Each structure stands twice: as structure tokens, then as C-alpha cells.
Amino acid sequence: MDLTDKPAQVRQGEELDPEAIRQFLKDRIPGLSGELTISQFPSGYSNLTYLIRVGDRELVLRRPPFGTKAKTAHDMGREFRILSALKPAFPCCPEPLVYMEDPSIMGCPFYVMERIKGIILRKKPQEGFELTPDRVRTLCENLLNVHFLLHSVDYKALGLEGFGKPHGYVKRQVEGWSERFKRAWTPDAPTYEKVMQWLHDRMPADFSKPAVIHNDFKFDNVVLNPENPLEIIGVLDWEMATIGDPLMDLGCSLGYWVQRDDPPEFQAASTQITNFPGALTRVEVFKRYGEKFGVPLDNFEFYVCFGFFRLAVIIQQIYFRFYHGQTRDPRFKQLIFSLHLLEAAAKRVLEGRESRKQ
């Protein structure tokens, strides 16, 4: 049974020019021959991802969403550069092939990389994918292991020392995401004022070991080996990667980490397998990460609350595009409900209702 991730027909309004793509690839990637077809990976809410088949070769094209104005949030060149530097030291990176900054091809910068063909676990795992409690726990442990492996890369040896500003990272993130939320706020959304103030008042010092951080590390951004589905062979969606505080990166991941004892309405919004029997809890993830670094970690509540809030800001920014008619994607209409759920989750943390018990 083929469980690998499948593309779909390109969404209306997000079509690419096949002839322009054909000529671009022909001039820059030697050896391509055969019929060119374009399909689209339908998941994800930010940068658009297409499968380009040329004969037997499978490539992936990444471009910003249509209608976006936020260049820094959709910097294709930055994403291409970090993949190019990181690939030799972190084998789970896709191999980047070519970047185009000139908007003459499709009206925006974009890049092309090799496809990592495999299984991507989403909200409803593929039929035939066995998820016993033991397998779920192993998958959670392997996800944490790969995340820690990324944070262990010597970024200075890869020439990435200037790729981010680790000093003052926590403060910039709290203040920056708060400002982004305020700019993207819509009248039908919660204000998050209490959450933003709580985070501002309780900012810890930066972690002592800055690292390459992914900033969107979760199950549906990793690729599993079709021959061994418990093994992670790829990590996708590097658009927000930088050099910064690895505990903030871990907190971002925990923002997605719905678990079995969360309220039913929060569990219903889960997009991962983290509330399946056998999954690690948020506390277990945080504790095990500290054990890998060899130091006990503090401020669990801060990092989890930040993870919930940051995810809410990302959703608010996407919803803003729908609210103002910049996209017709019908999925975006439902995001307003997620904003209310995430505010409730963040408030449970700051009000002391997030349990530290395992």
C-alpha cells in the first residue's frame, strides 16, 4: 500500500505558467527531459508548494502566497540559503537546486528543490498506517530526537553565524509577535491582551546555547521513510528558520502539541497525533529535551504559553488575508475558531491550570 504524501490539482487562482516553468528549469537543471506536469500539495497555510514532474524527475517548487505583501515572512532567498548551508550537516534537509529572485517568471521570487518522497502524518493518518501506543510513543521520541539533532548542529562551522541574532532573542520574539498580532488583528478576533502582558512580564534570559532553529517543527512538517515509517528522513518548510534560542523553538512546537487531557474542543482542533494513546505529554517533551542537553530546564509554562500565542499570531495573519479578501481559500474562514481556542489554552497556562504532572 502506497502511503506517501500525494499532491492534488492546483487550486483556482494559484496556477503557474507551465511553459515559463519548463524554460526556467531547462536552462538551469541539466538532464531534464520528458513531459512537464504541475500539481499542488494542498496542505499548509503560508508559502505555496507545488510538485513539478519532468519525465521521471520529481521537483518541488516553493513560492509566497498570492496577494501577500509581507516580504520578510515569505523570504524565498533566505529559505534557499539556509537549506544550502545546512544540508551537508543535517541530512533531513531537502536538497535545494535553484533560486530565482527576478519576478519576471511568476511575479515573485521562488526556488526549486528535490522532492523527499515519503509519508507525512496529518490530522487523519493514512488508512493502513498502524498507530499502536508503542509506535506513537516512538514517533514522538524520534521527532524530539531530530529536533535536538538540528539544535546540535555547529552553525558557526557552516557559515551561518550571521544568519540570526541570538542575543536578546526572547525579548525580540515576545515584543515582535505582539506587534504582529496587533497589526493583523480583526474585530472578530480575541485581543490576547492578558496573554501578551503575561509573556512580557515573565521573559526568561536567553538560553546559553543558541542554535539553528526551525520555528515550525511538527509532525506534518517531517517526512517518514516509506520503508520504515517510524524513521524521519526529511524536514520541510524552513521559511522561518534562523539562529536563536532552541527553547523558544521547542515552545513553538509545543504550541501545536495537543494532548489527551486537553479540553475536548481543543482536542477536536488537533492537527497531529500527539493526543493519540501512547503520545508524550508536553511536560514529558520538555523534560526529555532538558535531559538531552544535560541540564534541568525551567520556565516550562512560559515556553508553552509563547508557543500557543505565536501560533495564534500566525493564524491571525493568515486570517487577516481572508478577512480582507486577499485570498479565496475557503479553509481560512474557519481559522477564527482556532484563535479563540488558542487564547483559552494560553490563559489556562498563565492561570496555573497547565499541569506539570506526567
The DSSP annotation for 105-137 comes to TTSS-EEEEE---SB---SSPPTT----HHHHH
Ranking 12-21, 127-136, 324-333 by mean pLDDT, the lowest is 324-333
The whole-number pLDDT of residue 75 equals: 84
**Coil/strand/helix, residue 152:** coil
What are the chain's domains? Answer: 18-114 (3.30.200.20), 133-350 (3.90.1200.10)
pTM for the full predicted model? 0.91
pLDDT of 233 strictly over 50: yes
Kindly give the residue spans of alpha helices, DSSP state H, lying in the chain.
18-28, 76-86, 133-151, 169-184, 193-201, 246-255, 264-268, 282-293, 300-323, 335-350
Q: What are the backbone dihedrals phi and psi of residue 222, each rounded to the nearest 5 degrees, phi first?
A: -120, 155
Determine how many CB atoms are found less than 10 A away from the CB of residue 60.
20
Candidate ranges 25-29, 45-49, 64-68, 299-303; pick with highest mean pLDDT: 299-303
**Coil/strand/helix, residue 4:** coil
CA atoms within 13 A on the CB side of 269: 20
The whole-number pLDDT of residue 178 equals: 98
pLDDT of 44 strictly over 70: no
To 5 degrees, how large is the angle CA 38–CA 75–CA 200? 130
74 vs 57, residue with greater confidence:
57
The whole-number pLDDT of residue 247 equals: 97
- CA-nearest of 56, 15, 57 to 39 is 15
323 vs 343, residue with greater confidence:
343
pLDDT of 131 strictly over 60: yes
pLDDT of 68 strictly over 60: no
Candidate ranges 121-125, 219-223, 333-337, 354-358; pick with highest mean pLDDT: 219-223
Mean local confidence (pLDDT), 235-259: 96
- CA-nearest of 209, 208, 179 to 70 is 179
pLDDT of 358 strictly over 50: no
Measured between alpha carbons, how far is 274 from 22 in angstroms, rounded to an integer?
A: 41
Give the pLDDT confidence of 135-192 residue by residue, as tens digits.
999 999 999 999 999 999 999 999 999 899 999 999 999 999 999 999 999 999 999 9
